[in-house]
Amino acid sequence: MLFTSSELITKIVINEKTQNALKLYGVVLKPLVLLLTIFTGIFPKNYEPPPGGFYFEINDVSPVVQDDPLLFDYNVEERVNDFVAAAVSQANITRTNHIMFTMGTDFKYQYAESWFRQLDKFIHYVNKDGRVNALYSTPSIYTDAKHTTSESWPLKTDDFFPYADQANAYWTGYFTSRPALKGYVRLLSGYYLAARQLEFFIGRSSVGPTTDSLADALAVAQHHDAVTGTEKQHVADDYAKRLYRGYAEAESLVKLSLACLTESASISGCDSPKTKFEQCPLLNISYCPQSEVDLSHAKSLVVLLYNSLGWKREDVIRIPVISESIVVRDSEGRVVESQLLPLLNASTTIRSHYIKAYLGISPSAAPKFWLAFPVSVPPLGFTTYFVSTAKQTDSASSMSTLYSPQVTEKSTTKIGPGLVKLLYNADEGRLSFYSNSRSKVNAVVEQSFSYYTGQDGNGSDPQASGAYIFRPNGTYPIKSDTQVPLTVLQGPILDEVHQQINPWIYQITRVFKAKEHAEFEFRVGPIPTDDGTGKEVAMQITTAMMTNKTFYTDSNGRDFIKRIRDSRSDWELQVHQPAAGNYYPINLGVYMEDNSTELSLLVDRSVGGASLVDGQLELMLHRRLLHDDGRGVAEALNETVCVDDECAGLTVQGKFYVRIDPKGEGAKWRRSFGQEIYSPLLIAFSEQDGENWINSHVGTFTAMDPSYSLPDNVALLTLQALEDGSALLRLAHLYETREDKDLSTMANVELKKIFPDKKIGKITETNLSANQERAEMEKKRLKWKVEDSQSAEMVARGGPVDPSKLIVELGPMEIRTFVIKFDYIFLRV
Ligand SMILES: *[C@@H]1O[C@H](CO)[C@@H](O)[C@H](O)[C@H]1NC(C)=O
Ligand SMILES: *[C@@H]1O[C@H](CO)[C@@H](O)[C@H](O)[C@H]1NC(C)=O
Ligand SMILES: *[C@@H]1O[C@H](CO)[C@@H](O)[C@H](O)[C@H]1NC(C)=O
Ligand SMILES: *[C@@H]1O[C@H](CO)[C@@H](O)[C@H](O)[C@H]1NC(C)=O
Ligand SMILES: *[C@@H]1O[C@H](CO)[C@@H](O)[C@H](O)[C@H]1NC(C)=O
Ligand SMILES: *[C@@H]1O[C@H](CO)[C@@H](O)[C@H](O)[C@H]1NC(C)=O
Ligand SMILES: *[C@@H]1O[C@H](CO)[C@@H](O)[C@H](O)[C@H]1NC(C)=O
Ligand SMILES: *[C@@H]1O[C@H](CO)[C@@H](O)[C@H](O)[C@H]1NC(C)=O
Ligand SMILES: *[C@@H]1O[C@H](CO)[C@@H](O)[C@H](O)[C@H]1NC(C)=O
């Protein structure tokens, strides 16, 4: 089969008439290129050797080729016949007369000699026989051979999800398996992006810390048995350890870069900065020794926020603190409104348990509050805020206000200090209504939790639910324990609703004054298994929307692909598993729409999700299972955390975000807020005595021209210092054709304004992995004939970069990669 790379799935059709019309209006039509296609396919038996006895690990049982005629087990003809039969059978379902045998599979070639000895004999005797021609090959040789046949190929523009290898074996469990590892990979990918930028600003060091080991760890974690969660526990631990070590080195680099950048406006390198910054990787469990400090002795806490996005950013920062009368000031000394939220028991419990588990220490008393304040950070830059205890001269209105929790029992609750309001009903304390007074969206919305019990594999069908496979044996709603009331924290910046859903699910819902979505932070675990069954925990958002079985999920965070329940675009489907057979991977988000509105749900890590009922979206948040599913892990997916020899199931904490828009207006939030989720503000802390920081440090910084920011439809994927001092730059257009009425257009990026302090000498466009020039690639790229030429549409693409103007154009979903050499560097004054 032939299909497009995922960023090119959508196409624009520009016929001659519109082309001429555009010319008349003097619009320079950007190069329209034929949809790029790549060659792909599915083999009859995964990547296994063909059926008929072709496994040659030394302990395999396939008959070896015995070609000594003096021996009684001489079998050359027999084995040649087996080989030819396997070839003919595969050729029967394969276009052209070239087929590929994948001679090996997982765990093979531990003793390669035994394989190659047999393959040598097969090639020799099969070619002597002459019915088929056999040779050692590679995927590129095979692809070239297919290409030279001039065959036309069918075009496939979606993917192969969800995949099942048997009637009840849908490989949709791994979309969620090991959600904490998935979260860690995502968190560090975003951190890596920011750390590379900071490395670029101060120049790559040949002796100091670099981001290389984080890059390596993240690369290894992309393996199909790493981030997928389909490895043994000790292997998962090894991946996490590598990630942590990479993080630790990158963190040293980040602290050094920030110190350099704050001590001097010059970005031309720095020797040994004196300023010490610290970071708090365990802010997620309310642990931050740097912010939990006594500020009463004229010290103030310096909070630096780095924004790795190419746009200015407004956000709300939350840090744990111990004192109550606090004043927050910005880098110009102006008081910033702030809000204190008490740290509730559920947070202190997870805090003390996991600090012990992660660090082996018992922390001092827990901080009493979260301090929240709004921040505004320039693109590709930082700004600084100062947190101190109030002095007598500070007016009461400048101090942070503490809003005590209210426990609501049997009354309707409405939260939201801004445009978005959430309503909770009186009897069950359940979310019931969502409104946005700007967009005039009013919608009935409910949230519920449930779990699937994992099949144990002992029934008549031996397939168990496991790390790969989602094989439920029943689904059970989780009733909110109505005895436990809602705890509501309201204030000027944000409102929070705390819900103990059941003894092992806790949720905090936040609505911010300045944001038009609701944020849900969930804690699931330890999932109980004392009843002898594994459980897979899901969350549903239910509306009255008429969605006609249809919803949309992202492909690797890029295109959204249309999904229709119980249906596949390419073949007649028989769904054996109504839930498992309709689950899809959710990396960025999922949305559904009806005639008037669209509801989007964005995630902070990859999870499985579905729309099993019209008007409803579901995410699977966590899974704990007691049986192996027989796909190679040979272990139950039973993640546990031990503290002092006490072991309990892993608790997973994460976030998802919900917003409802008028139909056709959801893409802007999904794309721009999606970038904010991936690249949270990087927070670093320092301390100052007195108030001299501003006199000796740079308070705000942007690496770009101060008047510039990237267009709303473009993201900076990579800004990295290469070893020879040049820069690697990747820019991505965030929208698909027709996705948004304003932003699905050609975008222009001004490189001179991204690098205001540097003179660009030479710019070379390369392929995505930056190891081949684009011009070379275009010469070599194979062009495939498409069966139905109607489907070979044209897509708009940016033109070549004029070296004097240095403007990069990007068409919808286009990613462009450049290696940039600088002539010299201007010093920033
Ligand atoms: C080829 O495929 C057809 C149809 O599926 C089948 O009837 C036939 O037995 C196959 N032949 C071989 C040699 O596998
Ligand atoms: C929170 O924890 C404290 C100390 O452990 C306890 O006294 C208090 O009752 C708890 N509050 C709630 C609401 O559970
Ligand atoms: C399915 O669940 C029922 C209990 O609801 C249990 O009796 C049965 O053994 C389970 N079957 C499998 C194969 O897990
Ligand atoms: C299923 O069978 C396996 C192997 O016989 C056994 O170890 C396991 O305890 C059984 N599980 C259940 C839930 O019956
Ligand atoms: C529902 O979707 C089907 C395709 O899955 C389509 O044929 C039908 O027209 C849709 N109905 C409505 C009311 O949109
Ligand atoms: C949605 O709009 C289509 C076309 O305008 C119409 O046929 C359909 O009945 C509408 N569906 C609902 C639920 O209003
Ligand atoms: C799951 O983990 C718990 C806690 O470590 C352990 O007691 C239990 O035996 C494990 N069960 C399986 C099937 O691995
Ligand atoms: C908290 O964040 C760390 C990474 O800094 C991660 O490893 C851990 O899983 C997170 N903890 C929870 C409970 O989510
Ligand atoms: C870029 O080109 C190099 C050299 O041909 C190749 O090895 C690499 O796979 C290409 N990268 C991508 C992403 O296509």
Could you read off the pLDDT of 283-324 as tens digits, one per residue?
Answer: 999 999 999 998 877 689 999 999 999 999 999 999 999 988
Look at residue 390 and tell me whether its pLDDT is greater than 90.
no
- Going by C-alpha positions, the residue among 131, 531, 506, 166 that lies closest to residue 347 is 506
Look at residue 3 and tell me whether its pLDDT is greater than 80.
no
Shared domain check, 729 and 600 = no
Most confident stretch, 271-280, 375-384, 424-433, 473-482? 375-384
pLDDT band at 42 (very low <50, low <70, confident <90, very high): confident
Look at residue 31 and tell me whether its pLDDT is greater than 90.
no
Identify any residues that bridge with 382 across adjacent strands, giving them in sequence order.
306, 701
Does ligand 7 lie within 6 Å of residue 248's CB atom? no
Does ligand 4 lie within 6 Å of residue 483's CB atom? no
Say which range, 358-372, 611-625, 716-730, has the weakest mean pLDDT: 358-372
Say which range, 222-226, 472-476, 761-765, 820-824, has the weakest mean pLDDT: 820-824
- Rounded Cα distance between 457 and 391, Å, is 66
Secondary structure (3-state) at 742? coil
Question: Strand 155-156 vs strand 2-3: parallel, antiparallel, or unpaired?
Answer: parallel
Shared domain check, 449 and 388 = no
For residues 158 and 464, the model is more confident at 464
Domain for residue 828, yes or no? no
Domain for residue 3, yes or no? no
Shared domain check, 715 and 690 = no
- Rounded Cα distance between 660 and 667, Å, is 11
Shared domain check, 413 and 397 = no
Half-sphere exposure of 729 (CA within 13 A, CB side): 24
Look at residue 365 and tell me whether its pLDDT is greater than 90.
no
Q: Torsion-angle region of residue 299: left (phi > 0), alpha (psi -120 to 50) or beta?
A: beta
pLDDT recorded at residue 24: 37
Domain for residue 2, yes or no? no
pLDDT in tens, 479-489: 866 666 789 99
Contacts of 526 (CB under 8 A, 6+ apart): 504, 624, 640, 648, 649, 650, 651
Sole residue written with tokens 């860690």:
184
Most confident stretch, 196-205, 349-358, 509-518? 509-518
pLDDT in tens, 556-599: 999 999 999 999 988 888 888 999 999 999 999 999 999 999 99
Structure tokens at 242: 């590598």
Shared domain check, 185 and 99 = no
- Rounded Cα distance between 434 and 801, Å, is 47
pLDDT band at 826 (very low <50, low <70, confident <90, very high): low
* Cα–Cα distance list, 732 to 312, 748, 749 (Å): 18, 11, 10
- Rounded Cα distance between 308 and 258, Å, is 13
Structural domain harbouring 750? 708-822
Contacts of 22 (CB under 8 A, 6+ apart): 14, 29
Structure tokens at 167: 């009637």
Distance 626 CA to ligand 4 centre (A): 10
Q: At what angle do helices 233-263 and 179-202 cross, to 10 degrees?
A: 30
- Rounded Cα distance between 326 and 386, Å, is 10
DSSP code string of 7-32:
GG-S-B---HHHHHHHHHTT--PPPE
pLDDT recorded at residue 6: 25
Does ligand 8 lie within 6 Å of residue 653's CB atom? yes
pLDDT recorded at residue 559: 94
Secondary structure (3-state) at 141? helix
Say which range, 76-90, 178-192, 316-330, 588-602, has the weakest mean pLDDT: 316-330
* Mean pLDDT calculated for residue range 154-176: 92
Does ligand 4 lie within 6 Å of residue 628's CB atom? no
Does ligand 9 lie within 6 Å of residue 150's CB atom? no
Sole residue written with tokens 């904010």:
676
Secondary structure (3-state) at 345? helix
pLDDT recorded at residue 714: 98
- Rounded Cα distance between 168 and 151, Å, is 36
- E strand map for 557-596: 560-564, 584-586, 589-593
* Cα–Cα distance list, 672 to 183, 311, 557, 676 (Å): 20, 10, 12, 7
Look at residue 103 and tell me whether its pLDDT is greater than 70.
yes
Name the percent of the chain lying above pLDDT 90.
Answer: 77
* Mean pLDDT calculated for residue range 366-392: 93
Secondary structure (3-state) at 180? helix
Shared domain check, 350 and 463 = no
pLDDT recorded at residue 4: 27
pLDDT recorded at residue 572: 87
Shared domain check, 189 and 88 = no
What value does the mean pLDDT of the chain take? 90
Distance 455 CA to ligand 3 centre (A): 7
Does ligand 3 lie within 6 Å of residue 460's CB atom? no
- Going by C-alpha positions, the residue among 576, 414, 608 that lies closest to residue 423 is 414
pLDDT band at 690 (very low <50, low <70, confident <90, very high): low
Distance 344 CA to ligand 2 centre (A): 8
- Specify the CATH number for the domain of residue 18: 3.20.110.10
Name the percent of the chain lying above pLDDT 70.
Answer: 92
Domain for residue 166, yes or no? no
Rounded to 5°, the CA angle 72-77-79 comes to 90
pLDDT recorded at residue 369: 93
Say which range, 342-356, 464-478, 557-571, 786-800, has the weakest mean pLDDT: 786-800
Structure tokens at 705: 């021209």
- Rounded Cα distance between 289 and 204, Å, is 30
| Closest C-alpha residue for ligand 1 atom 9 | 89
Does ligand 1 lie within 6 Å of residue 90's CB atom? no
- Using the atom order of ligand 4, give the atom closest to the CA of residue 458: 1
The model's pTM is 0.92
Does ligand 4 lie within 6 Å of residue 456's CB atom? yes
pLDDT recorded at residue 824: 74
* Mean pLDDT calculated for residue range 775-785: 90
Shared domain check, 784 and 688 = no
Q: Is residue 106 within 8 Å of 48, Cβ to Cβ?
A: no
pLDDT in tens, 419-432: 999 999 877 788 99
Hey, which of 453, 456, 628 would you mutate to test ligand 4's pocket, going by the most ligand atoms within 8 Å of its Cβ? 456
Look at residue 394 and tell me whether its pLDDT is greater than 80.
no
Hey, which of 45, 83, 92 would you mutate to test ligand 1's pocket, going by the most ligand atoms within 8 Å of its Cβ? 92
- Rounded Cα distance between 42 and 54, Å, is 20
Instruction: Please report, as a single letter, which amino acid is at residue 437.
Output: S
Q: How many domains is the chain built from?
A: 4
Shared domain check, 417 and 382 = no
- Specify the CATH number for the domain of residue 717: 2.60.40.1360
pLDDT recorded at residue 460: 84
| Closest C-alpha residue for ligand 8 atom 3 | 282
Domain for residue 628, yes or no? yes
DSSP code string of 189-254:
HHHHHHHHHHHHHH---SSS--SHHHHHHHHHTTSTTTTTS-S-HHHHHHHHHHHHHHHHHHHHHH
Distance 634 CA to ligand 4 centre (A): 14
Say which range, 42-46, 498-502, 566-570, 802-806, has the weakest mean pLDDT: 42-46
Hey, which of 505, 622, 653, 683 would you mutate to test ligand 8's pocket, going by the most ligand atoms within 8 Å of its Cβ? 653
pLDDT recorded at residue 459: 78
Domain for residue 298, yes or no? yes
Distance 92 CA to ligand 1 centre (A): 6
Domain for residue 90, yes or no? yes
Shared domain check, 429 and 389 = no
- Rounded Cα distance between 257 and 269, Å, is 9
* Mean pLDDT calculated for residue range 377-390: 95
Does ligand 9 lie within 6 Å of residue 769's CB atom? yes
pLDDT recorded at residue 329: 94
Shared domain check, 688 and 729 = no
Distance 742 CA to ligand 5 centre (A): 27
Residue 746, Cα to own-chain centre: how many angstroms?
25
pLDDT recorded at residue 20: 38
Q: Is residue 656 within 8 Å of 520, Cβ to Cβ?
A: yes
- Using the atom order of ligand 8, give the atom closest to the CA of residue 654: 14
pLDDT recorded at residue 295: 83
pLDDT in tens, 120-158: 999 999 999 999 999 999 999 999 999 999 899 988 888
- Rounded Cα distance between 327 and 395, Å, is 10
Look at residue 19 and tell me whether its pLDDT is greater than 50.
no
Rounded to 5°, the CA angle 778-779-780 comes to 90
Instruction: Please report, as a single letter, which amino acid is at residue 251.
Output: E
Domain for residue 167, yes or no? no
- Going by C-alpha positions, the residue among 298, 449, 284, 304 that lies closest to residue 370 is 284
Does ligand 6 lie within 6 Å of residue 544's CB atom? no
For residues 384 and 409, the model is more confident at 384
pLDDT recorded at residue 299: 83
Q: 18 — phi, psi (to 5°)?
A: -65, -35
Look at residue 719 and tell me whether its pLDDT is greater than 80.
yes
Shared domain check, 449 and 379 = no
pLDDT in tens, 221-260: 999 999 999 999 999 999 999 999 999 999 999 999 999 9
Does ligand 9 lie within 6 Å of residue 768's CB atom? yes
Contacts of 675 (CB under 8 A, 6+ apart): 309, 715, 734
- Specify the CATH number for the domain of residue 283: 2.60.40.1180
